[in-house]
Amino acid sequence: MRIGVLTAGGDCPGLNAVIRSVVHRAVDNYGDEVLGFEDGYAGLLDGRYRSLDLNGVSGILARGGTILGSSRLERDRLREACGHLAEEARDFGIDALIPIGGEGTLTAARMLSDAGLPVVGVPKTIDNDISSTDRTFGFDTAVGVATEAMDRLKTTAESHQRVMVVEVMGRHAGWIALESGMAAGAHGICLPERPFDPADLVKMVEERFSRGKKFAVVCVAEGAHPAEGTMDYGKGAIDQFGHERFQGIGTALAYELERRLGKEAKPVILGHVQRGGTPTAFDRVLATRFGWHAVEAAHRGDFGRMTALKGNDIVMVPLAEAVTELKTVPKDRMLEAESVF
């Protein structure tokens, strides 16, 4: 069998672990040929690929990023390119294509599958917002990085009696903010799923200081918004990939808290630090299992589906189901987090 593999969209710790696992299972067990397309779907469109063998994936399990490179394609371009992509894949004699990516990549995978291409998707994103899988790899790593950052910020905040406003990734879903905020014992957590009132944060900080505490940490997701009329903060324009250009909620909120409290408040934007570097053991294992199951699915002819984690099991779910809606933080998870403020 000739298998094509590509990584598309924002990178994520664990991508290399999937590539390695696909190659090991496919080459070692089935004697397959694996072609790695470069820079996501762009490589498939332009015919840029390399043959991947066991040597080519040696030593990459713990390496962040992706050895194949990644890119985003604009939605409209992708839609237009779909027929062409399917043709290219057929010309290369691809018997199974394994695109590894987030919501945009899997939507394209679904379109390719609808166009008749044998596709097995593998979900990835540090945001953990893909429905139909309990977890995506990369999330555990990002939560670990954000948690460690907040642990560190607490000691310096306390020395200077400051409020730290830590902005983490999460456009539409606040999973990173929720779990890193909980793990680090943040005193306030703001999620995209629920508009916040800065007055509540002011109250929380004042109450802490009145009890003799000398600092506070607020964890805010980049996609969080203040409730209507509570603070000046505009919605950003939409870029060519259909993403909102954020106005910097961490910085805006820190200034707002400083103004209202008369205490120093510092914004800390963690940004792409959360996506870089070596994956955690959990993410390496999940990524490796996804790669193994993707190859098995290809050999069973189980196409138009993606790997998913359900409890402790890896199962296959229809791509159509996976990309219909984002998995956002449910209300009961927010309530659990509130109880630790």
Distance CA 251, CA 315 (A): 41
Specify the stretch interacting with ligand F6P by CB under 6 A; choose among 35-43, 91-99, 152-160, 166-174. Answer: 166-174
Cβ–Cβ < 8 Å for 183, 336: no
Q: Applying CB under 6 A, does 327 fall inside the site for ligand F6P? A: no
Of 102 and 144, which has the nearer Cβ to ligand F6P? 102
* Residue 127 touching ligand F6P (CB under 6 A): yes
Nearer to ligand F6P, 43 or 101 (CB): 101
- Name the residue type at position 62: A
* CA distances (Å), origin 154, targets 20, 161, 222, 254: 38, 10, 20, 15
7 in Cβ contact with 70 (< 8 Å)? yes
* Beta-carbon contacts of residue 339 (< 8 Å; ≥ 6 apart): none
Residue among 39, 127, 129, 283 flagged as catalytic: 127
Do the bridges between strand 313-318 and strand 305-310 make them parallel or antiparallel, or are there none, so unpaired? antiparallel
**Whether residue 127 lies in the annotated active site:** yes
In the complex, the smallest distance separating the C-beta of residue 134 from ligand F6P, rounded to whole angstroms, is 18
**For residues 139 and 127, is the Cβ–Cβ distance under 8 A?**
yes
Element (H, E) at 18: helix 15-23
Rounded alpha-carbon distances, angstroms, from residue 278 to 64, 121, 233, 264: 5, 23, 35, 34
C-beta closer to ligand F6P: residue 40 or 170: 170
How many residues bind to ligand F6P according to rule CB under 6 A?
A: 10
Using CB under 6 A, pick the residue from 125, 141, 307, 328 that binds ligand F6P: 125
> For the window 19-58, what string marks contact with ligand F6P as x by the rule CB under 6 A?
----------------------------------------
Nearest distance, CB of residue 129 and ligand F6P, angstroms:
8
> Which single residue is written with the structure tokens 């659990």?
336
Query: Does 275 interact with ligand F6P (rule: CB under 6 A)?
Result: yes
Tell the smallest beta-carbon distance from residue 159 to ligand F6P (Å). 31
Please tell me whether residue 249 binds ligand F6P under the rule CB under 6 A: no
Near ligand F6P by CB under 6 A: residue from 3, 34, 57, 169: 169
Contacting ligand F6P (CB under 6 A), which of 6, 8, 10, 319? 10
Residues 63-102 that bind ligand F6P (CB under 6 A): 102
CA dihedral for 334, 335, 339, 341, sign (positive or negative): positive
Cβ neighbours for 64, distance < 8 A, ≥ 6 positions apart? 11, 13, 16, 275, 276, 277, 278, 279
193 is a contact residue toward ligand F6P (CB under 6 A): no
**Residues with Cβ < 8 Å from 144, sequence gap 6 or more?**
280
Mark the segment that binds ligand F6P (CB under 6 A) among 165-173, 205-213, 301-309, 319-327. 165-173
CB of 173 to ligand F6P, least distance (A): 9
Residues that bind ligand F6P (CB under 6 A): 10, 102, 125-127, 169-171, 222, 275
Residues designated catalytic: 127
